[in-house]
Amino acid sequence: MHTIILKSYMKNSFAFKAFCLAAILFTAATAYTQNAAFKVLAFYSTDVERDHVEFANDAVHFFDSVAKKKNFVFETTTNWEYTNDTMLKKYDVVMWLNEFAHTEEQRRAFERYMDNGGAWLGFHVSAYNDKDTHWQWFVNFLGGAVFYSNNWPPLAAKLIVDDNMHPVTKGLPKNYLAPISEWYGWTPSPRLNKDVKVLVTLDPANHPFGKKDLIQEGDIPVVWTNTKYRMLYLNMGHGDQVLTDAVYQNKMIVNGLMWVAKKK
């Protein structure tokens, strides 16, 4: 079979060169995949709020370049039907860029993936939930956090780094000014859950925060992990400024991915 195909290619030297080139490229891609530290599949949507798509597109470019430097496979999709057992088991990390699973099948597949040791990195809207989302497993997964409030317009925010010895936040100062994003408040605060480790919190010095929509008060974690899972949630992810802080925030985001990928 192969010989026949090869002979017919050899009749046409251009086609034969193309065949050889394709074979080399395929081999290179396979070798790259085999040596890669881990594989990430990032899900996003393009038919959601414009500012959320903007961040997702920025994040795709950002992680694409990080993947080349740190030697991991970074693949993206807008097809949420890929949230199924067959697909997810091929990846070490699932990333949600401003969207979450909506159908029952996708939700059950994601639960199985996480319950069986999968890893998740979620940004901004990916953790959104309210009385209409009807997904209690996911609320528990987040440590009990239910969306409660937000600031509008999006603003730069003073943040408190709760623990700058943790692998995700190491080297960050105790306080930094995060680039413009929309910030969410949660009730109850996930900090009240003994399994949750809060890494970064919205500084109460920001309050009252916003103009049209206000975050008035309260304990508002913005980066945390539920230690029962290989998961990290980062609230930043609205608009085109989020990835502009190369000194602190981008490093934390990269550390966050590396940490969930390698956490056992």
Residues within the interface to Zn ion (CB under 5 A): 182, 238
Distance CA 114, CA 156 (A): 32
Q: Could you give the angle at the alpha carbon of 48 between the alpha carbons of 47 and 54, nearest 5°?
A: 100
By three-state DSSP, how is residue 231 classified? strand
Shortest distance in whole angstroms from residue 252 CB to Zn ion = 19
**Quick one: 92 or 99, whose CB is closer to Zn ion?**
99
Shortest distance in whole angstroms from residue 160 CB to Zn ion = 21
**Quick one: 144 or 237, whose CB is closer to Zn ion?**
237
Distance CA 248, CA 27 (A): 38
Distance CA 185, CA 146 (A): 8
Shortest distance in whole angstroms from residue 223 CB to Zn ion = 16
C-beta of residue 53 within 8 angstroms of C-beta of residue 237: no
**Quick one: 38 or 183, whose CB is closer to Zn ion?**
183
**Quick one: 130 or 195, whose CB is closer to Zn ion?**
130
Distance CA 220, CA 145 (A): 10
- Determine if residue 177 is left, alpha or beta; phi over 0 gives left, psi from -120 to 50 gives alpha, anything else beta: beta
Shortest distance in whole angstroms from residue 124 CB to Zn ion = 6
Shortest distance in whole angstroms from residue 62 CB to Zn ion = 18
Shortest distance in whole angstroms from residue 74 CB to Zn ion = 23
- Using the CB atoms, write b or e for 98-134: b if 16+ within 10 Å: bbbbeeeebbebbbebbeeebbbbbbbbbbbbeeeee
- Shortest Cβ contact with Zn ion: which residue? 238
**Quick one: 54 or 219, whose CB is closer to Zn ion?**
54
**Quick one: 87 or 180, whose CB is closer to Zn ion?**
180
C-beta of residue 26 within 8 angstroms of C-beta of residue 59: no
**Quick one: 127 or 172, whose CB is closer to Zn ion?**
127
Distance CA 233, CA 124 (A): 8
Shortest distance in whole angstroms from residue 203 CB to Zn ion = 19
Distance CA 216, CA 149 (A): 9
